[in-house]
Amino acid sequence: MKKIIIFGATGNVGSYVLKYAREYFDPAEYTVIASGRRKTDFFEKRGIPYYSVDISKSEEFEKLPKEDVYAVIYLAAQIPSYMDSYEPEKYIQSNIIGAYNVLDYCRKTHADRILFSTTVFDISLYAKDGVVLKPDLPYNFSYKGDHAIYVITKNTAIELMEHYHQEYGLKKFVFRFPTIYSYSPYHYYYPNGVKTLRPVYRMIEQAKKGEPIELWGNPEYAKDMVHVYDCAQMLCKAVEVDREVGFYNVGTGIPVTLKEQIETIIEVFSPENHKSQIIYRPEKSAGGGFLMDVQNAKTELGYEPQYDCKRLFEDYKAEMQIDRFKELRNK
């Protein structure tokens, strides 16, 4: 039976990708295996094989299966938004040393392919209002700020993948992630090391109380909003596709304006008898989103996004009520 190993399965995106993959793949043909750095019995209690592995330590890969490894989905990483202080050496350990160790594990086990998540910040300087980012754009990012070394380490990992592809025939598929929308019970992030409530959760809480919601900047500013299960769909289709390589933007290809986003949050979360009102603040600056071209994923993988803005927030609401990963997040 073919084994699919998901590194980073304890993370926000990885845990939902794992759930989707276990429902997507035929259990008579594939075994989906979870791996993450933290020690937890969360997966085993649900009948899911789990290995606690620090990918920066080569000796820890001895814990993992050696036979019938078909695909590795490599989602593990240190990312700036979850670090409350600037420690760039962690990027080196996780995103370069870790990438080398994962790739060498693929070589030793004769894995057929590796799927790797990189960051849209590698082309972030192209991003302007209305500009659609194509997957084959050359790198264009800032060498300043808390994302610089992060982006450099991700780009280095991609170069290592190319070596393993050419030297050992390892099939490689790279996925450029914008913000992936998945519910998490932890609502904060750390831009430039400052603990900040994520805007989407702030607006949801305001909508639930029927409080006014401020819309900063241009109401027609648009970005791609991609649900974690659409991201997972793209990854799973790449596991099965008959190709040697691929480089894809993760997204829907559908622009969602700030006005539409907030109106949808109000529709989904506000009480029927006490709807929030939008307060327009054009003098305030806003932005930070990306528009993604996903045509090659549709053509090459058969990818078709399923979640529009309303369905995305309806799922958020359902996941908030279920809180299915609460035990895992508290570990």
DSSP, res 79: -
Give the tens place of pLDDT for each residue, 196-237: 888 899 999 999 999 999 999 999 989 999 999 999 999 999
DSSP element (H, E) containing 266: helix 258-269
Identify the pLDDT of residue 82.
66
* pLDDT, averaged across the chain: 93
**Residue ranges in 49-123 assigned as alpha helix (H):** 88-91, 98-109
**Which residue ranges make up each domain of the chain?**
2-182+224-252+290-306
CATH code that applies to domain 2-182+224-252+290-306: 3.40.50.720
Of 58, 76, 74, 67, the C-alpha closest to 3 is 67
Burial tier of 326 (Cβ tally within 10 Å: 0-12, 13-18, 19+): exposed
Identify the pLDDT of residue 228.
97
pLDDT at 266 over 50: yes
Identify the pLDDT of residue 84.
67
Report how far apart, in Å, the C-alpha atoms of 228 and of each of 34, 81, 132, 272, 304 are: 17, 17, 20, 28, 13
User: CA end-to-end span of the chain, whole Å?
Assistant: 31
Q: CA-CA distance, 207 to 202, in Å (whole number)?
A: 9
Identify the pLDDT of residue 278.
97
Q: CA-CA distance, 310 to 316, in Å (whole number)?
A: 10
pLDDT at 329 over 80: no
Of 90, 87, 99, the C-alpha closest to 159 is 99
Banded pLDDT at 331 (limits 50, 70, 90)? very low
Q: What is the mean pLDDT of residues 272-295?
A: 90
pLDDT at 118 over 70: yes
With tokens 């989905």, the residue in question is 73
Identify the pLDDT of residue 198.
86
Greatest extent of the chain over all pairs of C-alpha atoms, in Å: 64
Q: CA-CA distance, 175 to 164, in Å (whole number)?
A: 17
Give the tens place of pLDDT for each residue, 37-92: 999 999 999 999 999 999 999 999 999 999 999 999 999 987 776 666 778 888 89
